[in-house]
Structure 1
Amino acid sequence: MFSISQATHASKAVQYDDLLQQARALIADETDFIANAANFSSLIFHALPDLNWAGFYLFDGAELVVGPFQGKPACVRIALGRGVCGTAARDRRTQVVPDVHAFPGHIACDSASRSEIVVPLVASDGTLIGVWDVDSPVPNRFDDEDALGMEALCTAFIALAWTKRETAR
């Protein structure tokens, strides 16, 4: 398995592209959404350095509910507009937070988390699916290149895993 931490000679964009190819291959033949979400979480958690949580919060029509993830136990329910995840879901805009303690209303599920990136997951028809949430114990861990890489990963995940789920219904 590819690891960004093992490929320091390549640019971050190239490293994310390699990770994207791995993610596509991992979920290409599986139709179960939850299985794909679990494997996607594991892939990212183990491939990227300095993470302490990576996973999904899925929108149930009223609030975000924890889904497949890697890391310590997490907050189970998050209201739209609350914390980094709820803000990303409400605004449907990626949130890159260099210092979670400076984010108004941050929800501290793991006190070791210092920075966070959250990508909203939106279906092609505009339906909110949830958010992809990644935390780090390192301040300023995420930047604009990480946002682009995570957004590309999430776009591929939605195109493959969500579309299959909807087609199977």
Structure 2
Amino acid sequence: MAETARAPLPTEKAAAYAALRAEIAAVVAGEPSRTARYATAASLLANAFPDRFFWTGFYLVDEAKGDELVVGPYQGTLGCLRIPFGKGVCGAAAAKGETILVPDVHAFPGHIACDSRSNSEIVVPVFDQAGKLAAVLDVDSTQFDAFDAVDRAGLEGICADLLKTP
């Protein structure tokens, strides 16, 4: 299959997220595999904002343990393999079930440094159709204060769509 060129994203950030949300939804439509959906989203997100997104990926809830995240599809350098709920930014977002935006990860109590080059981070929960936590989307940046309310809204929208019934 020949690769098709992607349309450039709008330069305004909220519009870029809206276009990216529509693109991700269109690409994963009908795909039943969560892994394929997460991998697609991680790839498209990482490539959409390469100047800000240093590490982009998903940590999946380990169904056997229930209170631990295990690394899933991602783009970037080596990620942490497992993160207990309540530990680091990802574990805190999983335990709280809400998005956490950290302008300086070095000031976050209990931050887990999977890659010391990360300086800011946003973690967004992904819920399944029943409202149960399935994963978290983790995005790191080498820049301090790289994420804001527009990133939060855009990423939360994408995550809300990820596990809709295909």
TM score, norm. by length of structure 1: 0.88
Deviations 1:94-153 (A, max 9, x none): 001000001000000011100000001122323110201000001110001100000001
| Residues 1:91 and 2:130 are matched in the alignment | no
> RMSD of the alignment, in Å?
1.3
2:46: which partner in 1? 45
2:56: which partner in 1? 54
1:33: which partner in 2? 34
Distance 1:101-1:81 versus aligned 2 partners, 3 A rule: same
1:105: which partner in 2? 110
| C-alpha separation in 2, matches of 1:129 and 1:111 | 27
Map of 1:16-165 to 2, 5 A cutoff? Answer: 16-48=17-49, 49-60=51-62, 61-159=66-164, 163-164=165-166
Task: State the AA in 2 paired with 1:28.
Answer: A
| C-alpha separation in 2, matches of 1:93 and 1:32 | 24
Kindly indicate whether the alpha-carbon contact (under 8 Å) linking 1:2 and 1:19 is maintained by their aligned counterparts in 2: no
Offset at residue 3 of structure 1 (A):
5.0
Partner SS state of residue 132, structure 1: strand
Consecutive unaligned residues of structure 1, counting only runs of 5 or more, are 165-169
Task: State the AA in 1 paired with 2:153.
Answer: L
Task: State the AA in 2 paired with 1:54.
Answer: T
Task: State the AA in 2 paired with 1:109.
Answer: C
Q: Greater shift after overlay, 20-29 or 80-89?
A: 20-29
| C-alpha separation in 1, matches of 2:30 and 2:43 | 17
Offset at residue 2 of structure 1 (A):
4.4
TM score, norm. by length of structure 2: 0.89
- Give the number of the structure whose residues are more often helix, by fraction: 1
| C-alpha separation in 1, matches of 2:26 and 2:136 | 22
Identity, % of aligned pairs? 48
Kindly indicate whether the alpha-carbon contact (under 8 Å) linking 2:34 and 2:163 is maintained by their aligned counterparts in 1: no
Deviations 1:28-86 (A, max 9, x none): 13222212211111010001132111000000123000000000111100000000000
- Misfit runs of 4+, over 3 Å: none
Consecutive unaligned residues of structure 2, counting only runs of 5 or more, are 1-5
Partner SS state of residue 51, structure 1: coil
| C-alpha separation in 1, matches of 2:137 and 2:130 | 18
